[in-house]
Amino acid sequence: MNEYKVTVRNGSTLILSDIIKAEDEREVLGTLLISSELFNQPFTDIRILER
């Protein structure tokens, strides 16, 4: 498992900033898209950086 720093923004508004443990970036993205924080919320930018 790796740790990934994740930030999600809608324009200049920060929606989510979190550390997620996952096998790879695809798993992180899947976790983000089904999480309640992002469900039915618009966003413009997702950044996933390995720690």
Helix (H) or strand (E) holding 19: strand 13-22
pTM of the model: 0.81
> Which ranges of 1-51 does DSSP label H, i.e. alpha helix?
25-34
Quote the domain boundaries for residue 18. Answer: 2-50
* Tens digits of residue pLDDT in 2-50: 999 999 999 999 989 999 999 999 999 998 888 766 777 888 999 999 9
pLDDT of residue 34: 81
d(CA 27, CA 41): 20
Count of domains for the chain = 1
